[in-house]
Amino acid sequence: AQKVTQAQTEISVVEKEDVTLDCVYETRDTTYYLFWYKQPPSGELVFLIRRNSFDEQNEISGRYSWNFQKSTSSFNFTITASQVVDSAVYFCALSGAPTGANSKLTFGKGITLSVRP
Amino acid sequence: GAGVSQTPSNKVTEKGKYVELRCDPISGHTALYWYRQSLGQGPEFLIYFQGTGAADDSGLPNDRFFAVRPEGSVSTLKIQRTERGDSAVYLCASSRQGNQPQHFGDGTRLSIL
């Protein structure tokens, strides 16, 4: 069985602060995929990133960066110089494959990030 | 539009009624997924279609829930004899075959009175 734990429930920061959102996962699959999605107040889930289990390189995209560590089963997400528009619920998710029968996503409970001006 | 379209955006009905929720995936996406999101929770998987067939329906909570995708494009999630516990946001996602992430619609907010 797959499981995603997002221990933080709510985080509040002041604009321009850096913030890290934690994600810990459990799976028995040797090949798996990790995701982060953003859910703004409008409700739509917006895809941010996907990493596969064979690629532990950290990734940076603008103000966003991700740290994948298989040794600790973690896939953490850092927002640098946070902005008010970053306020949203952030979900970490896990799947066994990108397509096919094992492609369903298992989500964590989400972290509500509030960025104050 | 270019994204996943779900209708209606909101549905309010009485306990015991039958409801249908519609999902129109992104053109060319062969994989389609339904999820249910309760307040304060992450989405939970319901059913997965590859083309016209339900490849995995292990997430459907009971036999009151059923989904179809007869022509491999639009899908309808059907709920019979609705209960108050069915109240949630029902999300649809689609993806292209071969190594692409799932893209989500805005969801249908279902309220059972």
Query: What tens digit of pLDDT does each residue of B66-103 get?
Result: 999 999 899 999 999 999 999 999 999 999 875 678 99
Contact B45 A110 (CB under 8 A): no
Tokens 């094992």 -> residue: A102
CA distance A60 to A40: 21
Supply the mean pLDDT for chain B.
93
Contact B100 A93 (CB under 8 A): no
Query: What tens digit of pLDDT does each residue of A1-50 get?
Result: 899 999 999 999 999 999 999 999 999 988 999 999 999 998 899 999 99
**Cα(first)–Cα(last) distance of chain B, in Å?**
32
In Å, the largest CA–CA distance within chain B is 41
Q: Which helix (H) or strand (E) holds B50?
A: strand B44-50
In Å, the largest CA–CA distance within chain A is 44
Contact B104 A107 (CB under 8 A): no
Query: What tens digit of pLDDT does each residue of A54-108 get?
Result: 888 888 889 999 999 999 999 999 999 999 999 999 999 999 877 777 889 999 9
Whether a cis peptide bond, with omega within 30° of 0, leads into A40 is no
| Dihedral angle, C-alpha B11, B14, B16, B17, nearest 10 ° | -50
| B1 burial level (CB within 10 Å; 0-12, 13-18, 19+) | exposed
Q: How close B100 gets to chain A, by Cα (Å)? A: 6
